[in-house]
Amino acid sequence: MEVQSIVLAFWQPNEYSFAMESVNPGSEHIWKQTAHRHFHRWAEHYDRDIINILLFKPCYRRVQSQVRHWVRRGLKEIRVLDVGCGTGSLAVWYLSGMPEVTSIVGLDMSENMIAKAREKASRFPLGGKVSFTLGDAENLPFADNSFDIVTCCNSFHHYPHQEQAVGEMHRVLADRGRLMLVDGFRDNPIGFFIFDICVARVENHVLHCSARRFKELMTKAGFYDIKQQVFGVCPPAILNTGIVIK
């Protein structure tokens, strides 16, 4: 009981405990350089990393399940953009087999990640359904209203201008388009320890949003019908969904 009291005294369930909700002006390029180096090195063993089993794959399955739910409710001819696609697992393994999904574009800032994603896609008869491109989540290289679903799994905490990134996701979504934004859930003691202490110490220049902060960002960007699902235990994750009305 005494140990539990100490843990709960240290952990404060709000978005200002340990991690801050903003980036110091002038440090944005450091954030992006750090993320680029990190993912450039990680690409070689990314798919074999234990974090794929513990966090990434459960997140991909959750996204796949949500898309299937929307399909059952009538969504079809779906154009998908996967922001921060990594090695393309979500696009190639989890979404490309759905006939209602007509095209998937994966975007990442790491050349090595994109190379691995293209190599992975080349091993499957996808018929040009999936493509990958270099780009910045805060300045998406796509026209307005280009996609029906935008996904972003476990890369949002690397973005120095998170408000701008959500705004860009809103811009490229068509009317009635959906956003699925997934990241580590840091609002309980386990998530706080994993993401705000361990990940922040190892990766540097990262910011995991609280559930309240995610909702604030999406609301300000213009999303409606915002819903949040917390899943997983160690590590926990959060899926934020919202709809665009234009």
pTM of the model: 0.85
Q: How far apart are CA 96 and CA 93, in angstroms?
A: 7
Distances (CA, A) of 84 to 10, 99, 237, 246: 33, 23, 17, 25
Per-residue model confidence (pLDDT) at position 141: 97
Average pLDDT over residues 120-125: 92
Phi, psi of 208, deg, nearest 5: -85, 120
Query: Which two structure tokens, joined as six digits, stand for 93?
Result: 């393994």
Across 173-220, the runs of DSSP E, i.e. the strands, are 173-184
Three-state secondary structure call for residue 163: helix
Q: How far apart are CA 82 and CA 107, in angstroms?
A: 6
Distances (CA, A) of 97 to 78, 93, 103, 118, 124: 12, 8, 11, 17, 10
Per-residue model confidence (pLDDT) at position 19: 42
Per-residue model confidence (pLDDT) at position 16: 39
pLDDT tens-digit readout, 157-187 = 989 899 999 999 999 999 999 999 999 999 9
Model confidence band, residue 82 (pLDDT cutoffs 50, 70, 90): very high
**Contact criterion met (CB below 8 Å) for 75 and 140:** no
**Per-residue pLDDT at 56 exceeds 50:** yes
Per-residue model confidence (pLDDT) at position 39: 55
- The residue that leads in pLDDT, 8 or 173, is 173
Three-state secondary structure call for residue 207: coil
Average pLDDT over residues 234-245: 96
What proportion of the chain, given as a percentage, has pLDDT over 90?
Answer: 68
Q: 164: left (phi > 0), else alpha (psi -120 to 50), else beta?
A: alpha
**Contact criterion met (CB below 8 Å) for 41 and 203:** no
Three-state secondary structure call for residue 190: helix
pLDDT tens-digit readout, 38-51 = 555 655 656 777 77
* Amino acid letter for position 179: L
Query: CB neighbours of 63 closer than 8 A, spacing ≥ 6?
Result: 90, 94, 95, 151, 153, 180, 182, 239
Per-residue model confidence (pLDDT) at position 116: 92
